[in-house]
Amino acid sequence: MKTDSIFYRLFQELPSIFFELIGNPPQTADTYKFSSIEIKQTAFRIDGVFLPTQGERQSIYFVEVQFQIDTESYSRLFSEIFLYLHRNKPKNPWLGVVIYPTRSLDTANIDNYSEFFTSQRVSRIYLDELGETATLPVGIATIKLVIEDQDTAITTARELISRTQQEIYTERQQRQLLELIETILVYKFPTMSREEIAAMFGLSDLKQTRVYQEGREEGRQEGVRQEKLRMVSLLLKLGLSAEEIAKELGLGLEEIQQQMQKQAKSQDM
């Protein structure tokens, strides 16, 4: 299962689930922006970083998802974190979170980093130790679906779909969570098509509703916008000005200038 992409999507679209997972109010996500950061000129990529958007007192959260045995996972994680801190020099404090499916995969040596775990600056979460799925918030229960075997995943997924429709009142979040459940099931049942899974779990009728269709169109439009933004660097290399790029892509000048600033900052890292 492509767990990295699932968790990236989960934290990108539903960051409140991450903060619930570490014991914070889900509303904390309103003051953070999530991204996956590649540290230039190295082979390092941090799985996920929650960067605070309000003030210097909020902590930066570095997130690592570890679903296979890796004896060097901690040496790499701390190298990534400290290289990021060295290059970006944030004034915010920082915390680390490592997510494992089970404690048995946590095999890397921590002798050189034990103080970070003792002080709880870095915490570890084992998904199979979170408790019974039925007693967990629906978002955290959806994370646990990733580690369910095929037999229990069917029952659990049906319960999660029902709970999502009953407990999540924000239309956008409900749609995102249902789509995430569907994506997890696609990976769990590789011999079934997405259409077969949707029919099996009663998602076919849901997809025909006005709310769902409007949400999918909203997501499609956002995807088109992001694709246009990725073209900015190419058009710059071709010698177009910011004004010309905005006209060519049909986007606002301010948005193009912000994208240019992001790209310039990324190249400096």
pLDDT along the chain (269 residues), means of 10: 76 92 94 79 72 89 93 93 91 96 95 95 96 92 91 89 87 85 85 81 58 54 71 75 84 85 63
The helix or strand, by DSSP H or E, that contains position 6, with its residue range, turns out to be helix 3-13
CA dihedral 235, 241, 245, 251 (to 10 degrees): 140
Structural contact between residues 18 and 29, judged by C-beta atoms closer than 8 angstroms:
yes
Please tell me the predicted confidence (pLDDT) of residue 141.
94
The helix or strand, by DSSP H or E, that contains position 102, with its residue range, turns out to be none
Tell me the whole-structure pTM to 2 decimals.
0.73
Give the integer Cα–Cα distance in Å for 121 and 235.
43
- Picking from 217, 205, 152, the residue whose alpha carbon sits closest to that of residue 178 is 205
**What is the dihedral sign for C-alpha 241, 247, 252, 256?**
negative
Structural contact between residues 49 and 77, judged by C-beta atoms closer than 8 angstroms:
no
Backbone angles phi, psi at 25, to 5 degrees: -60, 140
Question: How confident is the model over 35-71, as pLDDT tens digits?
Answer: 877 665 455 677 889 999 888 889 999 999 999 999 9
Please tell me the predicted confidence (pLDDT) of residue 266.
56
Domain boundaries, the chain: 3-209, 218-268
